[in-house]
Structures are given as structure tokens and as C-alpha cells.
Amino acid sequence: MEKITTIGTKIGLTTDDLIKYGDYIAKVKAFNFSHLPKKAKFILVTAINPTKAGEGKTTCSIGIADMLNHLGYQTTLALREPSLGPVFGLKGSATGGGECVMQPENEINLHYTGDFHAITTANNMVSAIIDNILYWGNALQIDPAKVVWQRCLDVNDRALRNVEIKINDKIHRNEHFQITAASEIMAILGLSKDFNDLRRRLDQAIVAYNFKNEPVYLQQLQITGSLLALLKDAVLPNLVQTKYGTPLFVHCGPFANISHGANSLIATDLALKLSDYVVSEVGFGSDLGFEKFNDIINLKKEYTPDCTVLVATIRTLKLHGGADETKLATVDLVSLKKGLVHLEHHIKIIQNYRLNFVVCLNQFATDGSEEITLVTNWLTEQKIPFGINNTYHLGIKDNPLLAKTIIEQTTRPQQYQLLFNPGTTSLTDKIKIICEKIYQTTKVTFSAVAQEKIAFYQQDDKYKTWPVCMAKNHQTIFGNKDPNDDHITIRDLKINSGAEYFIAYLADIITMPGLNKKPNALEIDVVNDQIINIK
């Protein structure tokens, strides 16, 4: 690894701009650069619906950025921070793989600069103050049954999904923990543009409703200053590097299935000011993170990607074509051909926004040559720009064709469009339009609970322009276990008034994951002062 000061100089950062966390990690005083205009071409990486193991979207993002730098294009990455939940659970490391890795890997995967701890603490401090108010006479007349703020923890712990807490002998209430990545503080921090915006968003977060069914705002708790003290450093983006020395901001980590799924706007904004090209990714498939990036983050068209990269793999296409999950390493042209329908669906999602895009076929060692030919021939016939990625194995020695195709696409004009007019489209219609244009189904059912909440919020013009964050299972387009079941059920709705969006919960989506039967936590160890087996 290069010293972090050396990495900083590649994008014009001096030692005065950095707060060092050892030799290889630093926080950046991002607000020193508030006066600078954005200048970079923006490359946004998304994917088709992944398998449980993931298909290499982060690996591709890193590989593309490394290749661009190798070809002489000054490029910076902006990616999300890993959550301890998946690291110790099923997914494991979230720092890439092979030649395409963030460094230092173990530190980024674990405590890093403490951002997640600060977010968790700030979030739970809000809960503690709410319950303290209930204990000491309830001056705000909070209805204990209508506390909407939830505690969080950055560990997969299904036992905490639904718990009962005792305030005193007379007051008990139900609590629902969620993972830190799904918390509103995470969403607020990720969407804030500066420290003042962070304060504003914290103040306007609704934490509960009183006995008159009026909202109780976080500002009324009188702890915004304390929360800002906890988040003072967490709001600053973190600078690290890739194996090949590409500057890399890794900051904030909202999940894309239950939150908006992008790294912090502060990090993206800074990267766009300091580089010629910026590569970023959004979580899970284009039906989740990519849709949310466009319909939540880019409503004002401030972060329109110049090229979108759609990552696909042979094995995932076979899975979506009906192949046995245990036999994805076996050549299966029948399932692969059926899986092209799934790829076509994701292509249409991107085309909804009229964006330039490239399909990135991330090659695995088990891919058969005839399978690769089948997919590339189909893409050629459809006149879809594409490239094959082998940076996992080859790093910057990979064929540069994919990188050059991406650069070419960033030069082409595009007529970007939103799915709907955020100011005139009703909350109900926003949900229906996402279902119709992204999931490609009109079979949408609203539960009685969801209908009641939508009716309540649609009475207030203050929320008229706010977008919807769809919370659903990431493994299928429709969020159902059966990939052919195209019925969408909106079972509940929640307002995240600090993040300034609504969350629509589909089917049985949960915001606190559980651990698998043999989680990665069973393998991790420390040997000779070195952490091993985070993989």
C-alpha cells in the first residue's frame, strides 16, 4: 500500500485536508472544497438480481476504476462501507476480491473509522431519550404505541426484531430493532450535503406521534447538538485505496433492499470535484439501488450518470433461467438462454431513464466458452454495448475494451428522464409507476394498513414531492420467493422525514437480518496479531 498522503496527492489533497487514522486511512475535510464545481464524468455501476453469494459488482467497480487510471484517465472510486452484519453472516467481506480490492481490507471490513458505531450510538440515543421522556411524566404526551423511531444494531440478530420493553411498572411498549444500515440516521447522514443540512434533517425527523396523533419531531427532544457531537467525524468521507493505488472514498453504507443503497452524497460530490472520472455503485440489482438512485437521490438531476454499467454473470443468468443453484458451474445453455429474459428486463429498467449504458459480463473461471458466445451474440444482435470483465484475475492486465467502451459511452448525448413528476404525482401513483415501469407489473395490492397511512400522509402538501423507497427482497424482481409471481403487495408504509422519503414495505421484507446456520463468524480468527478468514 501507498501512504494515504500519497493517495491524497493524486486528487489534489494536501496533508492539511486529511485527518489521518494511521498510515493508510484518512478522513477528508470535504467542506474545504464546497466552493469547487463538479467536473467529472460519472460512471454508475449496477447489476441484475444477484445470487446469495453476490456476483462481483464491487469487484467490477474497482476493476473498471483501476483500468481507467491505468489507461491515463484520472479516476476516483466512491463506494459504501461494509456492515458487520453481512461480514460475520453469509456474505462476508465487502471489499472486493482477487486483484480488485479495497485496502486495508480488514480495517475497512471491521471498525474502520468508527462511522457505523457513531451512527448506531446516535440512533439509540434518540430511543433512550424517548423512553426517558415516557419515564419522567411524558411531557411531550408521546403515545407509547406510536413510537416510530427504532433502535438499531450492526449485527444480524433476529431475536431483536420484535421485543417488549418496560419503561416503568405502568408503561410497556413494543420495540423493533433494525440493522444499522437500515436506520434513519444512516439514511440522513448519507443524503446530507453538509453539516447544516445534517442538522436540518435530524431536527425534522419524526420520532413518534402524540395522543392527538400529531407528529413529534426529533428537534423537540432537544438533543440535536448531542447527536451532531457524535456524528461530527462520521459526516466526513473516508479515503483509502485499491490494490493498484486508485483513490477510493468509502463512506456510509445503507442497504439497497431496505434503504436507498448508495454511498454518501458528500463523498460522491467531493469525488466529482477532484477527478476527471468517478466510478460508484449502488446496491443489489437495477430494480433496487439503481432505481432508488434515480428516483430518490437524483430527483433534481444533480448526479445524473454519464454511463451506467450493468453487471451480469453467466451463473446468475442460468439461475434466473431455472438452473439448480448447486449446479451453476455446469454448462447449461438451456437455462442460460431462458435467463436472457432476466437480463433484458434490467436493460429495460435502465432504458426507462434514457441513460447511456454498457453491459459488463463479469467472467468466472467456470464459464463455458459456448456460454459466453451465446450471451455476447445475443447482446450483439440486440445492439447493446458490452464488454467482458476479467479484472478479478488479471487486474490492470485485463483487456481494456470494456473500459474504452465505457469511456466512449460517457461522450454520447443522452436525454435523461425521471419516471414521474415528483411534485404532481401522488404517493399512491409513485408506488404504482415504480411497479409498472421497474418491476413491469400492474398487479399491485395495498394492505389496509398501507392505505390508511398513505391517506394520512397525502393530506399534507409538505410531503407531496417526497419520493418512495421500495423495501423488498433483492433476489427476484418482484420480491417474491417465486420469481414468476408478479404480484406486488404493499403491506406497510413508513415516513423517514429526516431522509425526506417514504418507505414502502413489500411482502415479508425484514429490516433486521438473521444469521445463517454456519455464519462467517465461526471462521474468523486472529493469528500472530493478524486477522484471518474475512472472506
List all residues 6 or more positions away from 356 whose beta carbon is below 8 Å from its beta carbon. 306, 307, 308, 409, 410, 412, 414
Query: pLDDT digits over 357-373, tens only?
Result: 999 999 999 999 999 99
C-alpha distances out from residue 64 to 68, 317, 382, 388, 395, Å: 6, 22, 24, 11, 9
CATH number reported for the structural domain that contains residue 308 in this entry: 3.40.50.300
Does one domain contain both 368 and 268?
Answer: yes
Question: Residue 189 sits in a domain of what CATH number?
Answer: 3.30.1510.10
Strand order from edge to edge, sheet including 444-446: 444-446, 488-496, 501-506, 468-471
Domain boundary pick from 215, 230, 245: 230
User: Do 249 and 366 fall into the same domain?
Assistant: yes
Q: Which of 105, 179, 58 is nearest to 535 (CA)?
A: 105
Q: Are 278 and 517 in contact (CB under 8 A)?
A: no
Task: Look at residue 66 in the predicted model and tell me its pLDDT.
Answer: 98
Residue 208 has pLDDT above 90, yes or no: yes
Q: pLDDT tens digits for 31-44?
A: 999 999 999 999 99
The one-letter amino acid at 363: Q
Query: Within a domain: residue 518?
Result: no
Looking at the structure, do residues 95 and 142 belong to the same domain, yes or no? no
Give a yes or no: residue 299 inside a domain. Answer: yes
Q: Give a yes or no: residue 534 inside a domain.
A: no
**Per-residue pLDDT, 105:** 95
CA 270: distance to chain centroid?
A: 18
Burial of 47 (0-12, 13-18, 19+ CB in 10 A): buried
Lowest mean pLDDT among 141-155, 338-352, 507-521: 507-521
* Total residue length of the chain: 535
Quote the number of domains for the chain. Answer: 3
pTM of the model: 0.96
Q: Residue 426 pLDDT > 90, yes or no?
A: yes
The secondary structure of 419-487, three-state, reads: CCCCCCCCHHHHHHHHHHHCCCCCCEEECHHHHHHHHHHCCCHHHCCCCEEEECCCCCCCCCCCCCCCC
pLDDT value at 89 more than 70: yes
CA distance to 30, 43, 79, 106, 193, per residue, from 304 (Å) = 21, 9, 17, 33, 16
Cα–Cα distance measured from residue 418 to residue 302, given in angstroms and rounded to the nearest whole number: 12
Does 311 share its domain with 447? no
Instruction: Say how far apart CA 206 and CA 228 lie, in whole Å.
Output: 17
The C-alpha atoms of residue 449 and residue 26 are separated, in whole angstroms, by 46
Strands (E) located in 121-177 = 142-147, 152-153, 163-166, 172-175
For residue 188, the SS3 value is helix
Task: Give the residue-averaged pLDDT of 184-198.
Answer: 97
Question: Which CATH number belongs to the domain containing residue 458 in this structure?
Answer: 3.10.410.10
**Which one, of 189, 252, 253, 182, lies nearest residue 472 by Cα?**
182
Picking from 230, 253, 270, the residue at the C-terminal end of a domain is 230
Examine the domain organization and report whether 287 and 221 are in the same domain: no
Whether 213 and 280 share a structural domain: no
pLDDT of residue 516: 87
User: Could you tell me if 73 and 39 lie in one domain?
Assistant: yes
CA distance linking residue 502 with residue 495, whole number of Å:
5
pLDDT at 52 over 90: no
* Within a domain: 148: yes
CB 265 within 8 A of CB 244: no
Lowest mean pLDDT among 56-60, 265-269, 469-473, 517-521: 517-521
Residue 126 makes CB contacts below 8 A (sequence gap 6+) with 149, 185, 207, 218, 221, 223, 227
Instruction: Residue 213: give the domain boundaries.
Output: 122-230
Are residues 263 and 403 both part of a single domain?
yes
* Shared domain check, 333 and 376: yes
Residues 248 and 368 in one domain: yes
Domain co-membership, 42 together with 151: no
Residue 393 in any domain: the answer is yes
Q: 238-242 and 100-103: which strand pairing?
A: antiparallel
pLDDT of residue 234: 98
Whether 482 has a pLDDT exceeding 90, the answer reads no
Quick one: what percent of the chain has pLDDT higher than 90? 89
Q: Give the residue among 268, 292, 299 at the shortest CA–CA distance from 417.
A: 299
Q: Give which of 379, 383, 511, 490 is closest to 429, Cα–Cα.
A: 490
Q: Which of 474, 472, 512, 530 is nearest to 85 (CA)?
A: 512
Lowest mean pLDDT among 152-156, 426-430, 468-472, 529-533: 529-533
The confidence score (pLDDT) of residue 53 equals 61
Residue (of 425, 210, 187, 404) closest to 297 by Cα position: 187
Question: In the predicted model, what is the mean pLDDT of the chain?
Answer: 95
Domain membership of residue 532 (yes or no) is no
Residue 396 β-bridge partners: none
Domain assignment present for residue 496? The answer is: yes
> Residue 357: its pLDDT value, please?
98
| Domain membership flag for residue 178 | yes
Q: Which of 170-184, 195-209, 509-523 has the lowest mean pLDDT?
A: 509-523
183 & 57 share domain: no
